Amino acid sequence: MKSDQHPSTDRGRDLVTSLLVVLLLGVIASVCVIYIQLVGVQNELNELKHLRDLDLKFKDEFDQKSQEDQQSQTRTSKESVQKRQTASSFVQELLLAQAHILESHCANDSRLCMRGPKGEKGDPGPSAKPLTVPTSVTSQCACLEEPKIGQLLNTVAKTGDDVDLRCPVTGNPTPYVKWIKNGVTVSRKSILHLTNVDTTTSGNYTCVAQNIIGSRTKTLLLNIQ
């Protein structure tokens, strides 16, 4: 009876040992799987962090470039406004100088007149007397004339040529003249001299003439082939 109990006890012990070994292997396998998953998650987190750092870097560079571009545009706009103001001030000073010259001319017993259509002769009235002009006064009449621009000829030239665009202007006082292309003043003389022209030089050129009486403009087409 005792000899039958020993094999049964040994088999029970072996069964328990086998179960413990299987359980231990399962735990080890689970730990390995969890570790592998954690390593994968860590790698993904590192990659996401790297991408985030790159995104922040690119964003900072983009913001910096945008800021520099805005500053450059602001400087360009300010310079353009200053140039226009300077040009406008120059014209105003010129017109004021012309007005001062005319004022001095008037103070020197000379007469100024404006050319225009004759009006109807008025009734002198019963007490009218003939107007006498002292012989010592020089009756010089300086007539004011608004600017007039002669004919502007459209011009065709070849690439590499030198071209002169002429703006014949008359008027009293002598008009202030400038050439404009695409809204930008390209010359302040009646003759616009262009050297080594190319296709980018083509376009409409407007001559502007003005004095204290008025202003006139005319446009010609320059075609570079």
Is omega for the bond preceding 173 within 30 degrees of 0, making it cis? Answer: yes
Measured on CA atoms in the order 114, 115, 116, 120, is the torsion positive or negative?
positive
Q: How many CB atoms lie within 10 A of CB 95?
A: 16
CATH topology of domain 86-114+138-224: Immunoglobulin-like (2.60.40)
Q: Which of 194, 190, 147 is nearest to 172 (CA)?
A: 147
Mean pLDDT, rounded, for 105-125: 56
* pLDDT(100) > 90: no
| Nearby residues of 153 by Cβ (< 8 Å), 6 or more positions away | 220
Q: Does 168 have pLDDT greater than 50?
A: yes
Which range among 68-82, 144-158, 165-179, 188-202 shows the weakest confidence by mean pLDDT?
Answer: 68-82
Strands 215-224 and 203-210, bridge-based pairing: antiparallel
| 27-31, 58-62, 193-197, 214-218: least confidently modelled range | 58-62
Distance CA 205, CA 183 (A): 10
Please state the rounded mean pLDDT for residues 137-150: 73
SS3 189: coil
Q: What is the mean pLDDT of the chain?
A: 78
Is 183 in contact with 198 (CB distance < 8 Å)? no
- The domain locations on the chain are 86-114+138-224
Residue 148 has pLDDT above 80, yes or no: yes
Task: With a cut of 90, say whether residue 140 has pLDDT above it.
Answer: no
- CA nearest 76: which of 37, 186, 40, 68? 68
The residue with greater pLDDT, 103 or 148, is 148
pLDDT at 136: 46
In angstroms, the CA 103 to CA 190 distance is 26
